[in-house]
Amino acid sequence: MKKEQKYFRGCLVGGAVGDALGWPVEFLKYQEIVKKYGSEGIKDLDLGNKKLAEITDDTQMTMFTAEGLLRAATSCSEKEEKKGEDKLPSVIFHAYQRWLVTQGYNTGILKELDGWLINVSKLHEQRAPGNTCLSALKSGKMGTIEQPINNSKGCGGVMRVAPVGLFCSRESAFQIGCESAAITHGHPSGYLSAGALAYLIACIIEGMEIEEAVTASLEELKKHNGHEECSSLLEKAIALSRDNTEPLTALSQLGEGWVGEETLAIAVYCSLKEKNDFKKALLISVNHDGDSDSTGAVTGNILGAYLGIDAIPAPWVQKVEFAELLIELADDLLTGYQDTEEWKSKYPGW
Ligand SMILES: [Mg+2]
C-alpha cells in the first residue's frame, strides 16, 4: 500500500513538473526543440526570465479536480453520507466552473465564488487553456457519458484526473475518472483514457508494480464500450516499451498526444521505459513533435505516484510554480475530511 504522503505528493508535484518542463516546447516540432535547446532537446526546466517554471491549464485543472473531490468530502461528512460517489461528477463540474472563472468567464451558475483555489490570485492566469474545455464549460451544461456534450477526444480530460486515482478506491476510480472527463469531452477515447489513468494510479497506490498496474488498467478499460481505439494504442505502448525501438521512434508510432488515447499511451510508454528514473522518463515524454506539456504532466503523475516525490530532482520541486499548494492539496487528499474551521473554509462543500 502506498497511501503515504510521499506518493500523493509525488503524483501531483510530478505532474506539475512534467507540465512545466513541456510547456516551453508544447507547440514546437522535435526539430525546432533541438534547434533551440541542443541535440538532446530540452533537458531542464526553462525558467525564461521568471523565478519559477510556469505550469499550465493541465495542472490548474488537476488542482480543481482535487478541490472538487475534497469539497465533496466535506458535504458527505457533514451529511454523514458515505463518500457520495454518485454526486462526485457534479461537484467536480462546479470545481471546473470555478476554474473557468479564473480564466475570465463566469456562466453565473455558481451561487458563491467561495473556497480556497478561486481566491488564489496567481491561478487567475491563462496558460493556453484548451478550447474544448473552455467551450464545454462556457455552455453551462455538464456533459456525461450518457449525454455527451460534444464528440471531442482531446487530451483535456486525461490530463486533469490524476487526483481521482489518489482519492477514490480502485473500485470506483475508473468510473469517476471517466465521468470527470466526460464533463467536457464526449468521445469514448476522451473519457476512457481518463478512466484508465485514474484506475492506473489507484492500482499504483494500492501497491502494485507499475507493469502490473498498467495491465490491470488495460483489462479494466476493455470492459467498457468504445474502448478499442484506446486499448489498442495502450497495447502498442506496452509492446514498444519492451523492445529495442528508440524512444523517439516509439513515440512517433504512438502519435503526438493531442488526443486522450495518445497522451495516455505516450505517458504509459515513458513510465514503463524508464520506470526507475523519473528525470529520464520526463525528458523522453516532452521531447517530441506533439503536446509536450500534457504528455509530460501525465507521465509525471504516473511516475510521481509510483516513485514518490523524493525521486523528482530537488531543483525541479523547488523551481516549479505552485509546488507548496500542490503539496497541501496532496496531503488533504490523503487525510480526507477534517472537522476543523480551516478545512471548512478551504473546502466549503458543494
Ligand atoms: Mg497545457
The grid coordinates of residue 210 equal 507499475
Please check whether residue 350 lies inside any domain of the structure: no
Question: What is the 281 CA–ligand 1 centroid distance (Å)?
Answer: 19
- The residues near 258 (Cβ < 8 Å, ≥ 6 apart) are 154, 155, 290, 291
Report how far ligand 1's centroid is from the alpha carbon of 324 (Å).
20
Tracing cell 493556453 back to the chain, one arrives at 128
Is 349 within a domain?
no
Q: State the angle between helix axes of 5-22 and 57-78 in degrees (0 to 180), rounded to the nearest 10.
A: 150
Mean pLDDT of the chain: 96
Q: What is the pLDDT of residue 48?
A: 84
Q: Examine the pLDDT at 151 and tell me if it is beyond 70.
A: yes
The pLDDT tens digits of the residues spanning 31-55 come to 999 999 999 999 999 998 888 999 9
Cell of 246: 528508440
How many alpha carbons fall within 13 Å on the CB side of residue 261?
Answer: 23
Residue 79 C-alpha to ligand 1 middle, in angstroms? 36
Has residue 75 been placed in a domain? yes
CA 326 to ligand 1 center in whole angstroms: 17
The Å distance, Cα 158 to ligand 1 centre, comes to 12
In this predicted structure, what is the pLDDT of residue 344?
A: 94
What digits encode the pLDDT tens for the residues 222-249? 999 999 999 999 999 999 999 999 999 9
Residue 43, amino acid = K
pLDDT of residue 213: 98
What pLDDT score does 83 carry?
54
Cβ–Cβ under 8 Å, residues 244 and 276: no
Task: Quote the ligand 1 centre to 4 CA distance (angstroms).
Answer: 28
* 37: CB partners within 8 A, 6+ apart: 25, 43, 46
Smallest Cα–Cα separation from 299: which of 15, 5, 74? Answer: 15
Whether the predicted pLDDT of 86 surpasses 90:
no
Give the phi and the psi of residue 53 in degrees, each rounded to 5: -85, 120
Phi-psi region of 143 (alpha: psi -120 to 50; beta: other; left: phi over 0): beta
Q: Report pLDDT for 42.
A: 97
Q: Is 187 left (phi over 0), alpha (psi -120 to 50) or beta?
A: beta
- Compute the average pLDDT of residues 71-75: 91
Does residue 29 register a pLDDT over 60? yes
Calculate ∠ Cα 267-179-278, nearest 5°: 20
Work out the average pLDDT over 69-74: 94
Q: What's the 67 CA to ligand 1 centre distance in angstroms?
A: 19
Mean pLDDT of the 310-337 span: 97
- Structural domain range at position 231: 5-41+53-340
Share of the chain above pLDDT 70, in %: 98
Distance from residue 259's CA to the centre of ligand 1 (Å): 13
Q: Over the range 89-121, which residues count as b (16 or more CB within 10 Å of their CB) and which as e?
A: bbbbbbbbbbbbbbbeeeeeeeeeeebbbbeee
pLDDT of residue 79: 64
Question: For residue 84, how far is its CA from the centre of ligand 1 (angstroms)?
Answer: 30
Angle between helices 210-221 and 228-242 (to 10 degrees): 160
The DSSP call for residue 71 is: H
Question: Per the domain annotation, does 326 fall within a domain?
Answer: yes
Whether residue 207 has pLDDT greater than 70? yes
Residue 184 carries which DSSP code? T
Band the pLDDT of 80: cuts 50, 70, 90.
low
270-323 pLDDT, tens digit per residue, is 999 999 999 999 999 999 999 999 999 999 999 999 999 999 999 999 999 999
What is the 172 CA–ligand 1 centroid distance (Å)?
Answer: 27
Q: Please report, for the domain that includes residue 333, its CATH number.
A: 1.10.4080.10
Number of domains in the chain: 1
Average pLDDT, stretch 161-185?
97
Q: Residues 92-148: pLDDT tens digits?
A: 999 999 999 999 999 999 999 999 999 999 999 999 999 999 999 999 999 999 999
Q: What is the pLDDT of residue 84?
A: 60
Q: How far is the CA of 126 from the centre of ligand 1 (A)?
A: 10
Number of CB atoms found within 10 A of residue 170's CB: 20
Distance 124 CA to ligand 1 centre (A): 15
348 within domain boundaries = no
pLDDT band at 81 (very low <50, low <70, confident <90, very high): low
Strand partners, 53: 320
Residue 18 lies in a domain: yes
C-alpha–C-alpha distance, residues 350 and 346, integer Å: 12
Q: What is the pLDDT of residues 186-198, one digit of tens each?
A: 999 999 999 999 9
Measured CA to CA, the distance from residue 319 to residue 286 in angstroms comes to 18
